[in-house]
Amino acid sequence: MSKTKTFFQCQSCGYTSPKWLGKCPDCAGWNTLVEEKVLPSHRRNAGIDSPGKAEPVALGAIEASSENRTLTGITEFDRVLGGGIVPGSVVLVGGDPGIGKSTLLLQTFSGLSRKSGKLLYVSGEESPRQIKMRADRLSVNPENIILLPETSLEGILDSAARLTPEAMVVDSIQTVFTQEMLSAPGSVGQVRECAAKLMLFAKRSGIPVFIIGHVTKEGTIAGPRVLEHIVDTVLYFEGDRGHSYRILRTIKNRFGSTNEIGVFEMSDSGLKEVDNPSELFLSERPRNVSGSIVVASLEGTRPLMVEVQALVSRTNFGMPRRTSIGVDFNRVNLLVAVLEKRAGLQLGGMDIFINVVGGLKILEPAVDMGIIATIASSAKEKPVNPRTFVFGEVGLSGEIRAVAQAEARLREAAKIGFRKAIIPAGNADKIRDNQGLEIVGVKDVEECSKTFFD
């Protein structure tokens, strides 16, 4: 009789070892290897349909057709999905606890229930009564939404095959387990196997599956990295608990563009779409105050006008502090060094604090000129004209480099009411329509510092 196999698997990276190790040789994590067991192959495959043998097909013989997407009724959610839900797709939604993942998908199902058939909501964490209370608070349309409190993957797939819903939510993947593995729910093996079987079910049946994933303290989705490779789309729900804004960001999308974002506002009645996020982020911006400037950032295909603030003050300690919220810390240190070397600012004995207002996180290099502008403004105690905005990448030699989609940024700024744009000279030379704005092209950091306060 075949014996049950036992091995040790790292819960951070998925590395396997025949014996226990204190430190994972792959990711260098301590005490991350956990014992897991696998049933014999003849028991593991019992009652499971074999995938069958696929036949090779010539590429030219395949008929190309566009996906028949289903709109959810939530414009911002449809945007990050690439235009709607694709049949048979698997979407992974991750985010911090309490950020609004379950709320978002429950509201999505409410919109789908008005135009689709049965929808299956599988909950492994909450009881049906708890979900009903949330649905009443959100004024969710209960028609066609079926709740299934189940954590067994086999039970979930049996119910889904019997009901044949138009879409399915699994909340969350860390609570689901398959009987083929003896390890605890949420382990690396269980998460990988359950996600793979859900993907196989979605592709065979054409039913889109939404998977909610927990996030670790490092900000990544819990479980093996292969989980993100299995699914078609990966969405991260970001936001600061101190702010009401929530950002739904696309990390991976096989059916649309990546790095697309949707902006929501959390209210007592659930998540509300923000049609014009730029105007909302700038609604409480102070005027004629040093250390504040607006940057035209690009998130996916959407230009956003965001406020970047800086506070520069003389340090009371031997080592000056550098703190950044919303932008990369190492990038801020690099730009401070460029300002000292190329613009002559003496910042060695200064504490510097950078903040992107609204809880946003900006990763693109076009924010560089905004950072040096707001630091220079706070250090010199000179405010920048509130009708002026900037964008551009800064190099180590102090040069200002051109960025992509300059005209889209100008259109967004002109729509809000800005009058002057300080942009890289490489972009200024190629602008065909200035949108009624005064365009000032700059080539280096020294020229920038003179232009900011004109």
Token pair for residue 63? 């008929």
User: According to the annotation, is 99 in a ligand binding site?
Assistant: yes
Q: Is the dihedral of CA 326, 332, 333, 336 positive or negative?
A: negative
Burial class (CB in 10 A: 0-12, 13-18, 19+), 58: exposed
Cα–Cα distance, 273 to 270 (Å, whole number):
10
Under 8 Å between Cβ of 39 and 182: yes
**DSSP code, position 139:** T
User: According to the annotation, is 213 in a ligand binding site?
Assistant: no
User: According to the annotation, is 426 in a ligand binding site?
Assistant: no
Residue type, 232: D
Nearest of 85, 59, 92, 80 to residue 206 by alpha carbon: 85
Nearest of 234, 226, 278 to residue 259 by alpha carbon: 234
Cα–Cα distance, 182 to 43 (Å, whole number):
12
User: According to the annotation, is 156 in a ligand binding site?
Assistant: no
Q: How many CA atoms lie within 13 A of 204 on its CB side?
A: 14
Nearest of 411, 382, 399 to residue 296 by alpha carbon: 411
Residue with tokens 């900006």: 362
Cα–Cα distance, 70 to 388 (Å, whole number):
41
User: According to the annotation, is 95 in a ligand binding site?
Assistant: yes
Cα–Cα distance, 102 to 123 (Å, whole number):
10
Other CB atoms within 10 A of residue 107 CB: 25
Cα–Cα distance, 381 to 312 (Å, whole number):
9
User: According to the annotation, is 171 in a ligand binding site?
Assistant: no
Token pair for residue 301? 């295909």
User: According to the annotation, is 97 in a ligand binding site?
Assistant: yes
**DSSP code, position 343:** S
Q: Please give the full DSSP string across 189-200, using - where no structure is assigned.
A: HHHHHHHHHHHH
Residue with tokens 């793979």: 196
User: According to the annotation, is 232 in a ligand binding site?
Assistant: no
Residues annotated as binding site for ATP? 95-102
Residues annotated as binding site? 95-102
